[in-house]
Structure 1
Amino acid sequence: MFEPSQADVRRFFCGVYAKLGQQAALEPIEVLAGQWIERHPEYHAELADLNAALQAMQGPGPGQVQVPPRDNPFLHLSMHLSISEQCSIDQPPGIRQAVELLTARRGSVHAAQHEVMECLGRMLWESQRSGRPPDGAAYLDHVRRRATAD
């Protein structure tokens, strides 16, 4: 399993953003990341400055405020990318159909993914808290419930 460091993730997204600006050729995973970057112009300033992004990993300096994780553009974009990849390979089995149904109900893949992020974040939090592996079945169940709720 590929486990990039926090710095690797920041380098990746900043690199994709730079390539988008230069209209450079992108690898397939970069194309997907670029689509999510383009849907989040509020993150472009952070993505434009790799050095600041790497330095921010060390925490706030004097007089600065720590950014809450939910406002972390790198985490947010990583979750979009993870959900897109999960759907592309249908892992856990059934996630593609559940996200497609949620997308149809919300009228937007972007809005649907934001809801799926809540389910994904919950699964990861519960896994960390319990010390057990992530529960893909519970995650899928949460997404399905959102997709079928009135």
Structure 2
Amino acid sequence: MFNPTRDQARQFLFDAWRKFRDQHPLTDLEKITVGILVAHPEYHGLLDAPARHLDRDYLPEHGDTNPFLHLSMHLAIEEQLSIDQPVGVKALYLQLCEQQQDEHAAQHEMMDCLAEMIWHAQRYQTGPDPAIYLGCLRRKLGLDATAG
């Protein structure tokens, strides 16, 4: 699943949740996903009703927060941490965990930086720049954003 459609990505989340709830065996990726889903009880009702939410649009101009984007960003961060990519992100995450005293809160701090990098790439029609991401993480930690 390297480039899933919006519906495929959402269906993956619904399926992982259903398998967890039905106590079916999970793949390694589903286990990681379920850990994220369990940590977000505010989305459990949504995950229990895929037919109602699969096609729903979440428009920021209407004040909507996209739960699927939020959960997918958690998955992206988990992957980054598992392979320390971009290099150094895991060390910065561990420092954020210490600063926040909470792994979940640290990931939410990382999400802000990931979103900043994505916004920058979209705004300037460039590829994602890890320097922007890592620099933002360093600023959150009160470190020199230009330090390697």
The TM-score normalised by the length of structure 2 is 0.89
How far off is 1:148 after superposition? 3.5
Q: How does 1:74-85 map to 2 (within 5 A)?
A: 74-85=68-79
Higher relative contact order, chain-length normalized (CA < 8 Å, sep 6+) = 1
- 5+ residue gaps, structure 1: none
Q: Is contact 2:89-2:134 (8 Å) kept?
A: yes
- In the alignment, the residues of structure 2 paired with residue 96 and residue 105 of structure 1 have an alpha-carbon distance, to the nearest angstrom, of 14
Q: Which runs of 4+ in 1 moved over 3 A?
A: none
- 5+ residue gaps, structure 2: 144-148
Q: Is contact 1:102-1:148 (8 Å) kept?
A: no
**Deviation digits for residues 68-102 of structure 1 (CA, Å, limit 9, x no counterpart):** 2xx21111110011001101100000000000110
Structure 1 vs Structure 2 CA RMSD: 1.9
Equivalent in the alignment of 2:33: 33
Equivalent in the alignment of 1:14: 14
**Deviation digits for residues 102-126 of structure 1 (CA, Å, limit 9, x no counterpart):** 0111111100000110000111011
**Deviation digits for residues 35-86 of structure 1 (CA, Å, limit 9, x no counterpart):** 01000010011111111122314x79xxxx9562xx2111111001100110
- In the alignment, the residues of structure 1 paired with residue 54 and residue 63 of structure 2 have an alpha-carbon distance, to the nearest angstrom, of 14
- In the alignment, the residues of structure 2 paired with residue 43 and residue 56 of structure 1 have an alpha-carbon distance, to the nearest angstrom, of 14
Percentage identity across paired residues of the two chains: 39
Mapped pair 1:143 → 2:116: no
